[in-house]
């Protein structure tokens, strides 16, 4: 075996003989030459096998290769401007690891259910690989933003005794003799962490037993939840727009090939620069009514409403100051108008829906206690959360970014199921 390389690094080996562990993505032949489309996860390269230049054994081995067979291929790396990667390999040796028979996913069209049943294999498809590379870059850019802005990463628990976002969609489980729930949001714990560390963020899985089967809902999804002490609603919005700009522009810069593979119109992403437009809930209602929607003040928006609002803008838009009655118990009322709260949802452009929900939190202990009563929440289970107001309460704000909706938007995918390696949806727990 020659020096081992991966396809991503072949530019460092031009003119050299290297061995690449790879799978046969595709193959074609023109009599005396066989073209092997090799993939190794890091990229794609064409291996050229010339009958007159290799032993009969190598030629016949190449002939026997089927889609998704695994091989060590050895050959000389050459620059090839006509190929997508810019390089090609002139094959000199082939070591077959495994010959695959009847690979279920062929270049023909398959239905989504079939592909989802074979998700463990579908991940090998170029588009699915590109989505996961972009997801990884999004996560890297998220961490980079918070690292550069003085935040500390804190991990809230997954098993919790109480609800953070309302009691209708909790996943119940037993915790020995006690009842427990899978976390819907780490927020309440992040508020405790903010009182200890100032500016914090979490990145972890969250669970919602939502019976809604939409293009935007997963049962298990990943959320990024920053929480900031001594920070008001306005300051939080400014951080959110800078944050989203950083994430989108990092992907534009670092994932050119992958954005091309998923077919994304990059000019739409290049435009995502702070500041973002804002509209109050009141004005959004007026706008929707003017557009013919039958929606009274006080009702929450559904996907069609969000899309109609988002269509007015070519950047994400903040919808601010929702009625208290349709938002979570912990949101701080607007001092000038207590029937609305200091909150904002960020709606992505092009119909991708709400990607961020955030607010300033109630810091007044009396008001928080009153809210617990109004929402019928037991003071006993939330005692620790009350303590955060009893001992050195401060104005503070935070927000939650849904990772999968962000990936769907940045990749231009019409369904969140392709944004996560193994999606958990209403009717799917396999594979
Ligand atoms: O708006 P949500 O429910 O807000 C919270 O959970 C707050 N505690 C966050 C905070 O202030 N720390 O959820 C936040 C985001 C949504 O904007 C959406 O992007 C995503 O999480 N999200 C989902 N993504 C996929 N599937 C679901 N079922 C989702 N539910 C929420
Ligand atoms: Mg929300």
Does residue 94 share a domain with residue 204? no
Does residue 331 share a domain with residue 219? yes
The edge-to-edge listing of strands for the beta sheet with 396-402 is 152-153, 199-207, 220-229, 396-402, 353-360, 343-348, 317-320, 278-280
Q: Indicate the SS3 state at residue 285.
A: helix
pLDDT-derived band at 164 (thresholds 50, 70, 90) equals confident
At 387-404, the pLDDT tens digits run 999 999 999 999 999 999
> Is residue 337 assigned to a domain?
yes
Question: Which structural domain, as residue segments, surrounds residue 38?
Answer: 3-98
Task: Classify burial at 185, counting beta carbons within 10 Å of its beta carbon; exposed 0-12, middle 13-18, buried 19 or more.
Answer: buried
Taking CA atoms only, the protein residue closest to ligand 1 atom 27 is 217
The residue among 401, 382, 385 whose CA lies nearest residue 393 is 385
How does strand 178-182 pair with strand 159-160? antiparallel
Give the CATH number for residue 175: 3.30.930.10
% of the chain beyond a pLDDT of 70: 100
Name the token pair of 372: 């617990």
Does residue 173 share a domain with residue 55? no
Average pLDDT over residues 212-238: 96
Does residue 177 share a domain with residue 72? no
> Is residue 104 assigned to a domain?
no
Name the token pair of 422: 């193994």
* Residue 197, pLDDT score: 98
**How far is residue 419's CA from residue 153's CA, in Å, rounded to a whole number?**
23
Taking CA atoms only, the protein residue closest to ligand 1 atom 18 is 402
**Ligand 1 centroid to residue 22 C-alpha, Å:** 39
**Ligand 1 centroid to residue 186 C-alpha, Å:** 11
**How far is residue 249's CA from residue 268's CA, in Å, rounded to a whole number?**
11
At 270-321, the pLDDT tens digits run 999 999 999 999 999 999 999 999 999 999 999 999 999 999 999 999 999 9
List pocket residues of ligand 1, CB cut-off 6 Å: 164-165, 185, 187, 208, 210, 217-218, 221, 223, 225, 354-358, 398-400, 402, 404-405, 416
Does residue 29 share a domain with residue 132? no
Give the CATH number for residue 41: 2.40.50.140
> Is residue 371 assigned to a domain?
yes
> Cα 53 from chain centroid?
47
Let me know: does 395 contact 349? Beta carbons within 8 Å: no
**Ligand 2 centroid to residue 258 C-alpha, Å:** 29
* Residue 85, pLDDT score: 85
Number of domains in the chain: 2
Longest dimension (CA), the chain: 86
Taking CA atoms only, the protein residue closest to ligand 1 atom 24 is 402
> Is residue 425 assigned to a domain?
no
Let me know: does 22 contact 39? Beta carbons within 8 Å: yes
> Is residue 430 assigned to a domain?
no
pTM: 0.97
Does residue 151 share a domain with residue 40? no
Which atom of ligand 1 lies at the shortest distance from residue 210's CA? 28
**How far is residue 279's CA from residue 321's CA, in Å, rounded to a whole number?**
9
Does residue 138 share a domain with residue 92? no
Does residue 125 share a domain with residue 92? no
How many CB atoms are closer than 10 A to CB 303? Answer: 15
Let me know: does 112 contact 125? Beta carbons within 8 Å: no
């Amino acid at each position: 075996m020659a020096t081992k390389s991966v396809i991503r690094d072949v530019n460092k080996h031009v003119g050299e003989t290297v061995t690449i562990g790879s799978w046969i993505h595709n193959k074609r032949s023109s009599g005396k030459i066989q073209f092997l489309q090799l993939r190794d996860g890091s990229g794609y390269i064409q291996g050229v096998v010339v009958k007159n230049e290799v032993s009969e054994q190598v030629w016949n081995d190449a002939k026997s290769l089927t889609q998704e067979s695994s091989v060590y291929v050895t050959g000389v790396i050459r620059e090839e401007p006509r190929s997508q990667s810019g390089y090609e390999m002139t094959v000199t040796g082939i070591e077959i690891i495994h010959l695959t028979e009847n690979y279920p996913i062929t270049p023909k069209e398959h239905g989504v259910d079939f592909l989802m049943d074979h998700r463990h294999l579908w991940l090998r498809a170029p588009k699915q690989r590109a989505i996961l590379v972009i997801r990884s870059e999004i996560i890297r850019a998220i961490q980079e933003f918070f690292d550069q802005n003085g935040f500390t990463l804190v991990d809230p628990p997954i098993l919790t005794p109480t609800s953070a976002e309302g009691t209708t969609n909790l996943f119940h489980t037993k915790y020995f003799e006690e009842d427990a729930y899978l976390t819907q949001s780490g927020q309440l714990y992040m508020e405790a962490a903010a009182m200890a560390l100032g500016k914090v963020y979490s990145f972890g899985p969250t669970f919602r037993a939502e019976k809604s089967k939409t293009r935007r809902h997963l049962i298990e999804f990943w959320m990024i939840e920053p929480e900031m002490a001594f920070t008001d609603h306005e300051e939080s919005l400014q951080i959110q727009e800078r944050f989203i700009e950083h994430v989108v522009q990092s992907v534009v810069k670092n994932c050119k090939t992958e954005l091309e593979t998923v077919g994304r119109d990059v000019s739409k992403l290049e435009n995502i620069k702070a500041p973002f437009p804002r509209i109050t809930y009141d004005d959004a209602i007026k706008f929707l009514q003017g557009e013919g929607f039958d929606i009274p003040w006080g009702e929450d928006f559904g996907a069609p409403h969000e899309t109609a609002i988002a269509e007015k803008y070519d950047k994400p838009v903040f919808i601010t100051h929702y009625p208290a009655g349709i938002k979570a118990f912990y949101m701080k009322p607007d001092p000038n108008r207590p029937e609305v709260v200091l909150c904002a949802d960020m709606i992505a452009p092009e119909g991708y829906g709400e990607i961020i929900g955030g607010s300033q939190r109630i810091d007044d202990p009396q008001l928080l206690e009153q809210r617990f009563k109004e929402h019928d929440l037991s003071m006993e289970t939330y005692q620790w959360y009350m303590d955060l107001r009893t001992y050195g309460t401060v104005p503070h704000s935070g927000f939650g970014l849904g990772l999968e909706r962000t990936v769907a938007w940045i990749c231009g995918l019409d369904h969140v199921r392709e944004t996560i390696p193994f999606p958990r949806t209403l009717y799917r727990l396999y594979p």
